[in-house]
Each structure stands twice: as C-alpha cells, then as structure tokens.
C-alpha cells in the first residue's frame, strides 16, 4: 500500500516547510490529488494520521481536493475528460490519448503556527 509512503512524504514535506517558516506546528494541509495520480484519497486520509504521529503535523486537518483528468487525442486533437488511462477519443474512437491533466499529487498549502 503505497499510500503510507505517500502520507509519509506529505508529512516530511510539510514539516520541512513549517521549519523553514520558523514554525513548529502544522494545523492544516491542503492536498491536490489528481484522478490519475495513482493515489486513493480515502487510503491517504487513513494513512495520514498514523504517518503524522509524533511529528509537527500530528493532528493537522487534511483537506484533499480531488481533480478531474483530461486528455487530448494524438490522432485528431480533440480534448475531453478522462476517467482513466484506458480511454478512446469520443470524436474519432482511437486509443491515442495523451494525458493533459489529472496526474497531480501536490501539497497546495499548509496552515502553520
């Protein structure tokens, strides 16, 4: 379950940033999780509290913004929303999709004190 590694990476990133800002406590974290990021938001929430224990992020409120994905057809150029990597173009029907967005996995902001 890679969500545990991901949760630990989140904790490490936000703790580092809080330290740089001269703060010792993170009370809120906003994450952006794209639909194609390979991360389940629920699993990540579940792992986060364990990963944050005994760190400056312990008890922080985790807000996850899930982003939809979109792609463009390499064959005809049509743009359309994606629900996964296995997708055909709604215009020409070919499976030649290039992902434009939806792979994001980022810390958007933190609230510190």
Partner 1 sequence: MCDTCGCSSEGGAVLRKPGTDGYHLHIGDESSHHDHDHDHDHGHSHSHHHGESRKVDVEQDVLLKNNLLAERNRGWFEARKVLALNFLSSPGSGKTTILEKSVPLLEGWPVAVVEGDQQTTNDADRIHALGVPVIQVNTGTGCHLDAQMVQRAVRELDLKERSLLCIENVGNLVCPAMFDLGEAARVVVISVTEGEDKPLKYPTMFHSADVCLLNKTDLLPYVDFDAEKCREYAMQVNHHLEWIELSAKTGEGLDRWKEWLTSRLEKL
Cβ proximity to partner 1: between 3 and 79 the closer is 3
Q: What are the residues whose beta carbons fall under 8 Å from the beta carbon of 98, sequence distance 6 or more?
A: 71, 72, 73, 74
- The one among 61, 68, 74, 91 contacting partner 1 by CB under 8 A: 74
Q: How many CB atoms lie within 10 A of CB 18?
A: 22
Whether the CB-CB separation of 107 and 33 falls below 8 Å is answered with no
Burial of 70 (0-12, 13-18, 19+ CB in 10 A): middle
Binding mask 47-66 for partner 1 (x = CB under 8 A): ----x--xxx-x--------
Q: How far is the CB of 108 from partner 1 (least distance, A)?
A: 6
* Interaction site with partner 1 (CB under 8 A): 1-2, 5-6, 8-15, 17, 19, 21, 24-25, 27-28, 31, 36, 38-39, 51, 54-56, 58, 74, 84-86, 88, 95-97, 105-113
């Amino acid at each position: 379950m890679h969500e545990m590694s991901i949760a630990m990476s989140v904790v490490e990133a936000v703790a580092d940033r809080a330290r740089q800002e001269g703060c010792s406590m993170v009370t809120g974290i906003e994450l952006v999780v794209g639909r194609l990021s390979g991360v389940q938001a629920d699993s990540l929430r579940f792992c986060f509290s364990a990963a944050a224990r005994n760190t400056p992020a312990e008890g922080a409120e985790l807000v996850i913004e899930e982003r939809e994905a979109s792609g463009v057809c390499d064959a005809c150029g049509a743009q359309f929303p994606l629900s996964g990597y296995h997708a055909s173009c709604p215009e020409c029907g070919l499976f030649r999709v290039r992902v434009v967005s939806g792979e994001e996995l980022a810390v958007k902001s933190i609230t510190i004190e």
